[in-house]
Amino acid sequence: MSGLSSRVVLATRNPHKVRELSRILTPYGVGLASLDEWPDVPDVAETGTTFAENALLKARAVSVATGLVAVADDSGLEVDALNGMPGVLSARWAGRHGDDAANLALVLAQVADVPEPRRTAAFVCAAAAVAPGGAEIVVEGRVDGSLLRAPRGDGGFGYDPIFVPAGESRTTAEMTAEEKDALSHRGKAFRALAPRLNELLDGVE
């Protein structure tokens, strides 16, 4: 396999995710392309009710638009005291998509009166790969943990500064990129997906 057909396009323009997914997938020998190479491809509305549905929506649309195997994810924070929310609404919980500071502040306010034993939460990620011919793979990764009462750490993005994985004393924002990848929901999902990408690449003419 060579040339464009051997590449996988990451169906995101989020620079944080591009860097993170590149770190995770590159060791598997997968040739990666950024969606920025296709500026005319429109953003895909995340209208699904689950992470898997949204990941597949994005991967399908980008695969059709680029003619490549497309990889997408949808991920977010599920807070037990909020009945699993913000969930698929994590990126726009405060009303505007991608406003990390506002989203984080709103979650903290909503669980302000929740006692420590009930401040449990999980990061969940669905990773999907779709080939131009329609073949699809979707896998999920999850990391359980708890929420702090105030942000801590300068790394990561999103809700990382308030999330402490189970068995850890640090937030995911206090970890190095490599440490976070080793245990994160996206790390788990994409490490499960990466070996199976060859199945899709082998079917691309």
Yes or no: say if 145 and 120 are a contact pair by the CB < 8 Å rule.
yes
119: closest CA among 101, 151, 146, 152?
146
Is residue 74 flagged as an active site residue?
Answer: yes
Residue showing tokens 């405060």: 94
Residues 119, 153: Cα–Cα separation, whole Å:
19
In sequence order, what are the beta bridge partners of 123? 77, 143
**136-147, strands of its sheet edge to edge:** 31-34, 7-10, 69-79, 120-130, 136-147, 163-165
Which of 73, 74, 160, 181 does the annotation list as catalytic?
74
CB atoms within 10 A of CB 127: 30
Q: Give buried/exposed letters for 5-18 (b at 16+ CB in 10 A, else e).
A: eebbbbbbeeeebb
Catalytic residues: 74
